[in-house]
Amino acid sequence: MLEHVINGLVLGGTYALVAMGLTMQYGIARIMNLSFGDMIIAACFATHVLFTALGISPIAALLIIVPASYAINLGIYQVMMKPLVSRAADEGALEVDSILLTFGVLFVIQGILLIMFGGGYNSYSFLNTPVKMLGTVVAGNRLLALVLSLAIGAVLVFILYRTRWGMILRAVSLSPQSAPLFGIDTDRTARTAFAIGGAMAATGGVVVSMFQTFTATAGVVFTMKALIVVILGGKGSIPGAIAAGLLLGLVETFVAAYVDPGLTLAAVYSVFLLLLLVRPNGLFGKV
C-alpha cells in the first residue's frame, strides 16, 4: 500500500513538472500552446546530444538548455504570439488562433527533429540508481523529477503570492483587460510568463529524457497529459497543477496495482471527464 503511494507520487511528480509550464503559458499568457510537448521533446534531444556527444551530464545540461529555452520562447512570443494577442477581439478568438498557430509550430518542430535525428527510438541511462525511500526502492532520476517539481512549484507559489511581481502576474491572469488601467504592462508580463513556461518545458524535457524513451513525434503525448493536468488543476493554478499531477500518478499506480494495468489510461480519462463535469473549472479553479 505505502509502496504504491510512493510509486504514485514519484510518477505524479513527472506529470506535475511537465504541466506547470503549460499552466503558466495557458493561464497567464493566455496562449493555448499545442506545441508544448514538442518543446519538451526538443529538450530531450538536446540533452541526449549534449550527453552522448559532448559528455555533458544532464544535470549540467539543465544550465544550458533551460536559459536557452527561455530566450527562444521569448522570441516565439514576440514574433508569433504578440500579433495574435493584439488583434484578438476576445478571449475565445485568441484561443482558436493560438490553437491553430501552435498546431503549426508543433509540425515545424517535429519536422526539424525528424530531419536532424530521424524517427527512431532514443534512450540513454543516467541516474538510474536505486534510492530507498520509506521502504520502497525508486529510481533516482524519477525521484529527481518529483523533487524538482515540488521545488519549482514552491518557488513559483512564493513568487506569485508573496512578491509584487507575482501580484502583477496574477492580475494579468485574472483580468487582462483591466490590468493596464493599473499601469501594468500586460504585454511584457504575458511574454515573461510564456517564456517561463517554455523554460519549464525544457526542464521537464531534460529530466524526462533520463528515464523515458523518446521519438521525434512523441510530443503530442506530453501535451495531452499536461493539458489534462492543467485543466484538472484549474488553468493558471500552480498548486492545482501539482495536486492534479500527483493525483493522476496515484490513480495510475493504484489502478495498475489493484485493478488492471490495462485500464490505467482509461481510468485517468474517466477521472478527468467526471471531474470536468462536476467541477468544470478544475480542482483549484476560480468559479
Partner 1 sequence: MKNAFSCAASVARHFTTYAVTSLAIAASVTSVSAQDRDKISIGYAISKSGPNAGGADMTVTPNYELWIKEVNQAGGLKLPDGSRLPIEAIAYDDRSSAEEVVRAVERLATQDKVDFILPPWGTGFNLAVAPLMAKFGYPHLAGAAVTDKAPDFVKRWDTSFWFMGGSADYVSAFTKILVAERDAGRINNKIAMVSVADGFGIDLVKAARPSFKAAGFEIAYDKTFPPQTSDFATIVSEASNSQADTFVAFTYPPHTFALTKQSKIASFNPPVQYLGVGAGFPVYPGIAGSSVDGVMSLGGIDPNNELNTAYREKHTEIVGRAPDYWGSVLIYASLQMLGQAIERVGLDKAAVAKELSTGTFATVLGDETRLEDNQLRAINWVGQWQNGQFVAVSPAGGSGTAAVKLPKPDWE
Partner 2 sequence: MKTSYAFILAGGVLALLATAPVFISDYWTGVLLGMTGYVTLATAWALFSGPTRYVSLATVAFFGVGAYTVAVLNDIMPYPLVLLCAAGIGITMALVVGLSTLRLAGVYFVIFTFGLAELVRQTVSWWEVNVTYTMGRYVFLPFEGRHIYWQLLALAAVTFLISWSIGRSRIGLALKALGDDETVAAHSGVDVTRIKLLLFVISSTIITLVGAIQAPRWTYIEPSIVFNPTVSFMTLIMALLGGAMRLWGPLVGAIPLFLLFEWLSGTFPDHFSIILGLMFILIVFVMPNGVLAKFDSLRKGSKL
* Cα(79)–Cα(120) distance, integer angstroms: 32
Residue 23 as a binder of partner 1 (CB under 8 A): the answer is no
**What are the residues whose beta carbons fall under 8 Å from the beta carbon of 142, sequence distance 6 or more?**
10, 11, 13, 14, 211
d(CA 16, CA 146): 8
* Smaller CB separation from partner 2, 185 or 260: 260
Q: Which one, 27 or 58, has the nearer CB to partner 2?
A: 27
Figure out which of the listed residues 72, 124, 275, 279 binds partner 1, where binding follows CB under 8 A.
Answer: 124
Q: Which is nearer to partner 2, 43 or 109 (CB)?
A: 109
**Is there a contact between 65 and 252 (Cβ–Cβ < 8 Å)?**
no
Residue 116 contacts which entry, partner 2, partner 1, none (Cβ below 5-8 A, type-dependent): partner 1
Question: How many other CB atoms sit within 10 Å of the CB of residue 172?
Answer: 26
Length of the chain counted residue by residue = 287
Q: What are phi and psi of 131, to 5 degrees?
A: -125, 125
- Residue 203 contacts residue 66 (beta carbons within 8 Å): yes
Residues 94-123 that bind partner 1 (CB under 8 A): 110, 114-121, 123
Among the residue ranges 63-71, 74-82, 94-102, 250-258, the one whose residues contact partner 1 (CB under 8 A): 250-258
Q: Taking Cα atoms as reference points, which of 235, 241, 284, 228 lies closest to residue 29? A: 235
Least spacing, CB of residue 255 vs partner 1, in Å: 9
Q: Using CB under 8 A, pick the residue from 24, 202, 216, 251 that binds partner 1.
A: 216
Of these partners, partner 2, partner 1, none, which one is at the site of residue 95 (CB under 5 to 8 Å by kind)? partner 2
Of 192 and 215, the one with the shorter C-beta distance to partner 1 is 215
Write out the three cell numbers for 221.
503525448
Binding site for partner 1 (CB under 8 A): 3-4, 7, 10-11, 110, 114-121, 123-125, 128-130, 137-139, 142, 211-213, 215-217, 221, 252-253, 256-257, 260-262, 264-265
